Amino acid sequence: MKLSVPRRVPAVAALALAGLLATAAPAASADPAAGPQAPVSALAAPDIPLASVKAHLNQFQSIADSNGGNRAHGRPGYKASIDYVKAKLDAAGFTTSVQQFTSNGATGYNLVADWPGGDVNRTVMAGAHLDSVGSGAGINDNGSGSAAVLEAALAVSRAQLQPAKHLRFGWWGAEELGLVGSRYYVNNLPSTERSRIAGYLNFDMIGSPNPGYFVYDDDPVIEQTFKDYFAGLGVPTEIETEGDGRSDHASFKNAGIPVGGLFTGASRTKSSAQAQKWGGTAGQAFDRCYHSSCDTTSNISDTALDRNSDAIAHAIWTLSAGTTEPPGDLYENTADVAVPDAGAAVTSTVTVLGRSGNAPAALKVGVDIKHSWRGDLVVDLVAPDGTAFRLKNSSGSDSADNVITTYTVDASAEAANGDWKLRVQDVARYDTGYIDSWKLTF
């Protein structure tokens, strides 16, 4: 049973779309065992060496130790952290810029680093807040995210990666004061620049000593990219439920930019069920040193930090890959689905992901149904929200064979992304057949 992957018109195996990636889901009633196709255009990301990430954490710890015990907004330890990260990126060939802002009467700094090349109209960003609270060095919160994003960026440089999409990295100031730095960055981007950001990946606390593995449930393509990675490790994930508004992704989400990210937990307590699947200690906080002076280099789970660092690299490589051509338009499923004689309706699914906005007013629905006496058949297109569009009614007198045609549907009220289904029912006895293939062209 052959499952197709979305193909561009002309049929090029391209998986990059306006925002991110698309994959065809197997037809639900065709071959449940067949899993989704891997994006053929994504290169494999390198392993991110845990030792390199921890070396950055050691630097952040030293900086705090030498600057009053913290790396907080407005304090010398924060600017020293910015200078450390910037120097690494400048040496690695990034185009860096430091953006100043004022908060609580003190100067704050954002660091933004662009990797030259790629389509700037489809910019993929990854970021982390670099500031700590005043009470400590902030190694998990958020040296962990800052160090992992830094090392992923350095891996891009080591690989001399040339992705289709442009890569940009950000380290934000004054997150602990209320997402001040990231909001300042987003709000001061011209709207044309904001619309060029295809997605923002946020990493805030990704090395908690009693870790959970949480994935933000925001943009479906970004979420699926992380879930696929952890599934490959055999590590179960949960949806991050306390994240909305709790970190810098909110600044981007509020501007309409697709977001996602990873989180290993803060002061909430790990449940028994979570300890069963992840290990660690039930009844104990994911990070007992959250916002405390004990958030030092000893407050890190190496396993969690390593897994999340590698997941970040996987997401950066995957989401920035793709063709250098404009988005793909055609989604097809060629799995055969038998239509039971005078029986229940069956469906075949294509999954559309990473497009923006609604489907077109002239959505093309190409069907190829092999069936004698086609008058038996009722055919519908079902949108992701369940709205059904009648494509063909039954008609006892139509004794011709097969339904091979293209319908045009006004789907402009329907969101483009999601599972679209072709639904076919044989409502009269004696003739049978099957869905051979069908496709949507946007």
**Which partner in Ca ion, Zn ion, ligand DTR, none is near 240 (CB below 5 to 8 A by kind)?**
ligand DTR
Instruction: Please give the order of strands across the beta sheet that includes 165-172.
Output: 95-103, 106-115, 165-172, 119-129, 197-203, 259-263, 214-216, 238-240
Among the listed ranges 45-53, 242-250, 374-382, 397-405, the one in contact with ligand DTR (CB under 6 A) is: 242-250
Residues 224-256 as b/e (b if ≥16 CB within 10 A, e otherwise) read bbbbbbbeeeeeebbebeebeebbbbbbbbebe
Nearer to Ca ion, 75 or 314 (CB): 314
**Which partner in ligand DTR, Zn ion, Ca ion, none is near 243 (CB below 5 to 8 A by kind)?**
ligand DTR
CB of 54 to Zn ion, least distance (A): 18
**Which partner in Ca ion, ligand DTR, Zn ion, none is near 287 (CB below 5 to 8 A by kind)?**
none
CB of 247 to ligand DTR, least distance (A): 4
Q: Which of residues 299-318 bind Ca ion (CB under 5 A)?
A: 306, 310
* Tokens encoding 76: 């010398």
Dihedral class, residue 376 (left if φ above 0, else alpha if ψ from -120 to 50, else beta): alpha
Does the protein bind Zn ion through residue 204 (CB under 5 A)?
yes
Nearer to Ca ion, 193 or 302 (CB): 302
Nearer to ligand DTR, 219 or 240 (CB): 240
Contact call for residues 324 and 16 (beta carbons, < 8 A): no
Of 59, 61, 70, 142, the one binding Zn ion by CB under 5 A: 142
The burial of 21, by beta-carbon neighbours within 10 Å (0-12 exposed, 13-18 middle, 19 or more buried), is given as buried
Nearer to Ca ion, 233 or 361 (CB): 233
How many residues touch ligand DTR (CB under 6 A)?
13
Catalytic entry in 175, 176, 223, 240: 175
CB of 388 to ligand DTR, least distance (A): 38
How many residues touch Ca ion (CB under 5 A)?
4
Among the listed ranges 6-14, 218-226, 241-249, 313-321, the one in contact with ligand DTR (CB under 6 A) is: 241-249
Q: Which of residues 246-265 bind ligand DTR (CB under 6 A)?
A: 246-247, 263
Sequence-separated contacts (24+) of 28-35 with Cβ below 8 Å: 28/347, 28/348, 28/349, 28/421, 29/337, 29/346, 29/347, 29/348, 30/1, 30/3, 30/333, 30/335, 30/336, 30/337, 30/348, 31/1, 31/3, 31/335, 34/1, 34/3, 34/335
Give the number of C-alpha atoms closer than 13 A to the C-alpha of residue 415, restricted to the C-beta side.
11
Of 25, 155, 201, 266, the one binding ligand DTR by CB under 6 A: 266
* Tokens encoding 376: 């038996």
Nearer to ligand DTR, 47 or 242 (CB): 242
Taking the C-alpha atoms of residue 170 and residue 227, their distance in angstroms, rounded to an integer, is 23
Of 57, 126, 156, 205, the one binding ligand DTR by CB under 6 A: 205
* Tokens encoding 201: 């990946």
Examine the residue annotation and report whether 175 is marked as an active-site residue of this protein. yes
Q: Which of residues 122-141 bind Zn ion (CB under 5 A)?
A: 141
Among the listed ranges 47-55, 113-121, 236-244, 344-352, the one in contact with ligand DTR (CB under 6 A) is: 236-244
**What is the CB neighbour count within 10 angstroms for residue 211?**
27
Tell me the longest C-alpha to C-alpha distance in the chain. Answer: 88
Give the number of C-alpha atoms closer than 13 A to the C-alpha of residue 6, restricted to the C-beta side.
31
Of 219, 228, 240, 426, the one binding ligand DTR by CB under 6 A: 240
Taking the C-alpha atoms of residue 75 and residue 153, their distance in angstroms, rounded to an integer, is 26
CB of 266 to Ca ion, least distance (A): 23
CB of 306 to Ca ion, least distance (A): 4
Taking the C-alpha atoms of residue 274 and residue 210, their distance in angstroms, rounded to an integer, is 10
Among the listed ranges 159-167, 235-243, 363-371, 423-431, the one in contact with ligand DTR (CB under 6 A) is: 235-243
Contact call for residues 432 and 398 (beta carbons, < 8 A): no
Contact call for residues 434 and 339 (beta carbons, < 8 A): yes
Q: Which of residues 123-182 bind ligand DTR (CB under 6 A)?
A: 141-142, 175-176
CB of 74 to ligand DTR, least distance (A): 16
Nearer to ligand DTR, 106 or 177 (CB): 177
* Tokens encoding 167: 């890569």
Nearer to Ca ion, 137 or 304 (CB): 304
* DSSP output for 148-213: HHHHHHHHHHHHT---SEEEEEEEES-GGGTSHHHHHHHHTS-HHHHTTEEEEEEES----SS---
Judged by the rule CB under 6 A, the positions of this chain that interact with ligand DTR are: 141-142, 175-176, 204-205, 240, 242-243, 246-247, 263, 266
Q: Give the binding site for Ca ion (CB under 5 A).
A: 47-48, 306, 310
Site residues, Zn ion (CB under 5 A): 141-142, 204
Active site residues: 175
